[in-house]
Amino acid sequence: MSLMRQLGSLLLFTLLLTLLGGAGVNLLSAHDWAQIRLQLVNDESAARLALALSRQPADHASIESLLAAEFTSGAYQQLRFDPADGGAPFVRERAQGAREAPGWFERWAALAPVAGRAQVFDGVRALGTIEVTSSVAPAHDDLWGASVRTAAALGATGLAAGLIAALVLLRVRRALGSAVGQAQALLEGRFITRPEPPQPELRSLTGAMNAMVGRLKAAFDVQAAQLERLHHRARCDGLTGLSNRSHFLAQLEALLGREDGAEQCGLVLLRLRDLDGVNRAHGRAATDRILCTIAQTLRPYGERVPGCMLGRLNGADFALCLPAGGVALESAQALAAALRAVLPGLGQGIVVALGAVELNRETPLADALAAADEALARAEARGPYEVELGGERGDDRRGAGETAWRQDIGDALTHGRVKLVDFPVIDSAGELVHLECLLRLQLQLGGAFEVAAHWLPLAVRARLTSHVDACAVALALAAIARDGKPRCVNLAPASLAEGGFAPRLRGLLFAAPRAARKLSFEVAEAAAVERFASVQELSRQMRPCGVRLGLEHAGARLGQIERLFDAGLEFVKLDAAVTRGVGRDLQRMKFVQCSVELLHSLSLQVYAEGVCDDADARALWACGVDAVTGPWATERMSAVGG
């Protein structure tokens, strides 16, 4: 029982005990007084009758006549006269008349006064003894009426006292509830303060809670700032602020291997020619300004193009990855023109060359870099500010256009040409946490089941993502019902913006409540930041169904995780670009470890994406990661027959 219920029960018990005690004391007092009053009436009546009889003739007939008249007109229960000469006594008795008091009350509060007795004299000669017992029915009625009035008065008093006590308890409960809510918010990683209540004790409690919140918030801010510094140090080039080589290549490899990534992308390599000569001719400071100018020319792509990646691969080489096909050559030519207009003004002999390639998804990283290096070498051979396109341009395998794509996606959903591909997420003991489910569509009857990178961009443009995600959820629920294994479905950002999406999911979940408790949803980190209200509403509607909500591809915006937690997250999955190579990069490992500590302090579980080898897995377990997924996890589960 809660403390407030215990206090309420105690107050109620005390109030009832007080009221019952007051009513009992009042009833006993009234009962004793009625008993005394009846006794006095009996004694007074006996004395009065004895006096009246002493004034009458001393014969039996006169005495009996007077007593009979008195009994008839008086409220007597019994009237008895015993002659002194031993003659026959005069006795009259009357049954109890109609009463207002109930029988149980009369039996429980019975009045039994002693009969009044008096001697009758004729001068000095004793005529006899008279005994009078008055009727107790009126006294019972009076006692019952007084008890009812007292009970009503005490009941009204108790009701008023109960209402006052309830109001006081309500105020205390609100104040305590505020403190409990504040503590619960701390457990959830939210830092809130409350106004101090007027009660001194509760004011002290709330003040202490507010002070603790302030200290924890300050500690969290320090930890978040440290995390941001580690993040910057682990992924950024110290001079230009662009991604360093290891981080850029990890991002590119993750993009090329991700099923929900871009189907095609463009890679541009840019090289400042003869860096050593530029350094000798212009000095270190001027060379640094030249490199920063190149970085500033690249930066608008990263700011204006969602998903675009920028990096400095070494001293003279820069890279630009565009998350779309068919634009690498055009972008490289635009960069060359912009740099041709800027760099000559910084000194003589400052020139660049650019190589561009078009890449398809699942292109090996080594092949992509080799093709880009080859194109860059050809551009350098041609001369200053030259651009070369290398590799094969990614062609749309289905040239029928967007309308045909939309029709194929709709047909696949309508006719059930869909399937889920499961990838395990395992903990350090090798136990399954859940299966990550990715949807694939058979766009052509009898053809292959296509990964999301092939059709998702068109599904977004055709506003079909909510139908696709609902289909994936339905398949996951059916699979859970078959084998009982927990599963996780990732939701497209575009689906969150549709008003009817969450109610549609609730309908699917309520139709399979047991399976729903083993289902999780994931949303991308970028979606959670850009559509925070939608993610928060999704969490609010899914929580009653037992569904867990997590964040995938996390890492770039972990500095905003305090706000993201308000969305109701339960786990965060670090992006492969953050975790890949962590076993061989001390700075990256420190960043992951600090991220895990911060997320754990907010009661969030931490998973890692894209784990490929034992070294990375061991480093991630050492950092405190709760579970991993990727080729390494899949191979381990296959080896143990999972």
Q: What is the pLDDT of residues 45-79, one digit of tens each?
A: 888 888 888 877 777 788 788 888 888 887 888 88
- As a whole-number percent, the residues of the chain with pLDDT over 90 amount to 25
- Residue 391 CA to residue 31 CA, distance in Å, equals 112
Amino acid letter for position 62: S
- Residue 425 CA to residue 461 CA, distance in Å, equals 31
pLDDT over 60 at 396, yes or no: no
- Residue 630 CA to residue 437 CA, distance in Å, equals 13
Among the four given CATH numbers 3.20.20.450, 3.40.50.720, 3.90.1570.30, 1.10.3720.10, the one describing domain 402-639: 3.20.20.450
Half-sphere exposure for 199 (CA within 13 Å, toward CB): 13
Q: Which DSSP helix (H) or strand (E) runs through 573?
A: strand 571-574
Task: Tell me phi and psi for residue 294, to 5 degrees.
Answer: -60, -45
pLDDT over 50 at 394, yes or no: no
Give the pLDDT confidence score for residue 355 in this predicted structure: 92
Check: pTM over 0.85? Answer yes or no: no
Average pLDDT, the chain: 84
Joined together, the tokens standing for residue 333 give: 């030519």
**Of 8-12, 473-477, 525-529, where does the model show the most confidence?**
473-477
- Domain ranges in the chain? 3-158, 242-390, 402-639
* CATH class of the domain defined by 3-158: alpha beta
Give the pLDDT confidence score for residue 565 in this predicted structure: 60
Mean pLDDT, residues 405-416: 86
Sequence-distant (6+) residues with CB within 8 A of 239 are 288, 291, 292, 312
**Of 113-117, 237-241, 482-486, 495-499, where does the model show the most confidence?**
482-486
- Residue 559 CA to residue 225 CA, distance in Å, equals 8
At residue 285 the predicted structure's pLDDT band, cuts being 50, 70 and 90, is very high
Cβ atoms of residues 361 and 262 within 8 Å:
yes
Residues β-bridged to residue 435: 424, 487
Mean pLDDT, residues 170-195: 72
Give the pLDDT confidence score for residue 366 in this predicted structure: 87
Mean pLDDT, residues 394-406: 56
Instruction: Give residue-wise pLDDT tens across range 119-168.
Output: 888 777 888 898 988 888 888 788 888 888 888 888 888 888 888 888 88
Give the pLDDT confidence score for residue 400 in this predicted structure: 47
CA distances (Å), origin 247, targets 244, 372, 530, 575, 579: 6, 18, 23, 11, 10
Three-state secondary-structure class, residue 33: helix
Return the residue matching tokens 């870099």: 369
pLDDT over 60 at 637, yes or no: yes
Joined together, the tokens standing for residue 267 give: 């890679």
Three-state secondary-structure class, residue 82: strand
Instruction: Give residue-wise pLDDT tens across range 421-443.
Output: 999 999 999 999 999 999 999 98
Give me the torsion for CA of 584, 585, 589, 592, rounded to 10°.
-110
Widest CA span in the chain: 163
Mean pLDDT, residues 279-297: 92
Half-sphere exposure for 358 (CA within 13 Å, toward CB): 15
CA 556 to chain centroid, in Å, comes to 25
Across 25-29, 42-46, 397-401, 510-514, least confident range: 397-401
Across 159-168, 219-228, 284-293, 545-554, least confident range: 219-228
Joined together, the tokens standing for residue 515 give: 């399976």
Q: Which fold has domain 242-390?
A: Alpha-Beta Plaits (3.30.70)
Do 3-158 and 402-639 show the same overall fold?
no
